[in-house]
Amino acid sequence: MTPSTPIRPTGYPWCLQGRDWGYPGQCQFWTYNQCMATASGTVSYCGINPLVAFAQQRRGYWREVREPKSFRY
């Protein structure tokens, strides 16, 4: 059964993909194990949600790492 309208990816990190789901697939899984449990026994597999993988990083999310100052001995 193929959906008549494309499934829009959501903010979940894992998508059920394959012949029945297309790309990006059914994106409703928080963990890889949840996705794989659903895919078990089918011809589907799990892939990373493209909206999560290629999302723009939030500003100030990471801190700058500075090299330690060199000391004179």
| Domain ranges for the chain | 14-53
Residues 52-67 have pLDDT tens digits of 887 776 666 555 555 5
Write down the pLDDT at residue 68. 57
Residue with tokens 């723009």: 56
Both tokens of 28, joined, read: 């409703």
**Residue 46 β-bridge partners:** 16
pLDDT band for 45, please (50, 70, 90 cuts).
very high
Write down the pLDDT at residue 31. 95
Residue 49: other Cβ atoms inside 10 A: 21
- Contact (CB, 8 A) for 16 and 24: no
**Confidence check: pLDDT of 51 > 80:** yes
Residues 10-39 have pLDDT tens digits of 678 999 999 888 888 999 999 999 999 999
The model's pTM is: 0.61
